[in-house]
Amino acid sequence: MPYTALKILIALKSDNLEIDKKIYDIRLTGMLRKRVSGGEIKMVKIAAVQMSIKCWEPEKNIQKALQLSEEAFKKDAEILCFPEEFITGPVRGKVEKFAQPIPGRYTDIFSKLALEYNAYIIMGSMVERENGKYYNTSVVISPQGNILGKYRKIFLWHPEKDYIERGREIPVFKTKFGTIGVEICWDLAFPEITRELALKGADIVFCPSFWSEGDNPLYKQFGFSTESIFIDSCVAARAFENELAFVFVNGCGPWQLQEYSDKLVGHTQIALPFYGAIAKMDDKEGVLVKDIDLSICTKARNVYSIVNDLKNSMKPEFRRYSVI
């Protein structure tokens, strides 16, 4: 068996994330050398900010987000993503006070940050106000500080349905590193979202989240974190079945909203086809920074041809999913 094929086989069969990461990192070291010598390797350095979030305290959250982003940019991050609702936390009961237009004050802050560090920024999500309605919206900002576009969360978590409108579009965004897509938190549970992004050519999908242990109110009966297993399983599956890089970015630590308290799961991670998760955090605050070789996604498309087969075999009327 060829050596490269053996390494992939070991990675696929391994139950140990550390082994998978070592295999990827060894392979990546050679690719970085090849890039320096002029080889055509599609590399991008991605940063995922995992932070604790104080509900209804936007100034403190913005300050923390800026501090953690500095850590990422010291490591030359080229695309940075924050968690869902990282500025305000959930705003149920205070939506009129904390919702902002796009563009607006919040986007202006992170547009300046993107321009300062010449990087793409996915603004986790914020509550957007437009024409008297409210949306859970992620904003994508270019290195020039311009808003490339936005994605509005489609699959709302149960409490959100009382005050948030669901999105109706699944856009992709062109960058110098390739095409990226965004979904938000509970969207992860619905593979149709990622599939639609893949059919539109996404190379990387970012999933900013505010995912808590108590989202399953029965988790204490099981004696372990059911939500960590949910997240880990879905993230790897989305990378494999869509032949793309998947970046899950969650908050961490305890949070409280009036009388309700919970704990964010963390588990921010980056997954690739062939490997599954190549980098993963636990439930502590910090920044996950990783060089990603997007040519691996191209190799997966050549091997599996999942997305291409769907494009060629699905009837046009079924190509657009009914989720929107």
Question: How many separate domains does the chain show?
Answer: 2
Amino acid at 218: L
Same domain? 160 vs 288: yes
Using 50, 70 and 90 to split pLDDT, how confident is the model at 5? very low
In a domain, 324, yes or no: no
Q: Cα dist. 203→66, 116, 148 in Å? A: 27, 25, 17
Mean pLDDT for the chain?
90
Phi-psi region of 46 (alpha: psi -120 to 50; beta: other; left: phi over 0): beta
Q: How far apart are CA 82 and CA 248, in angstroms?
A: 10
Q: What is the pLDDT of residues 242-270, one digit of tens each?
A: 999 999 999 999 999 999 999 999 999 99
Same domain? 137 vs 184: yes
Same domain? 76 vs 116: yes
Same domain? 14 vs 152: no
Same domain? 138 vs 12: no
Q: What is the pLDDT of residues 291-306, one digit of tens each?
A: 999 999 999 999 999 9
The domain spanning residue 66 has which CATH number?
3.60.110.10
Using 50, 70 and 90 to split pLDDT, how confident is the model at 313? confident
Same domain? 12 vs 51: no
Same domain? 7 vs 153: no
Is 96's pLDDT higher than 60? yes
- Residue 7's pLDDT is what? 43
Residue pair 274/266 in contact (Cβ under 8 Å)? The answer is no
Same domain? 208 vs 309: yes
Same domain? 58 vs 29: no
Same domain? 280 vs 247: yes
Same domain? 36 vs 50: no
Give the residue with greater pLDDT, 182 vs 313.
182
Same domain? 33 vs 110: no
Q: Which domain holds residue 122?
A: 42-319
In a domain, 276, yes or no: yes
Please give the average per-residue pLDDT across 226-233, as a whole number. Answer: 98
The DSSP output letter for 215 is G
Using 50, 70 and 90 to split pLDDT, how confident is the model at 18? low
Rounded to two decimals, the pTM is 0.88
In a domain, 222, yes or no: yes
Q: How far apart are CA 243 and CA 147, in angstroms?
A: 27
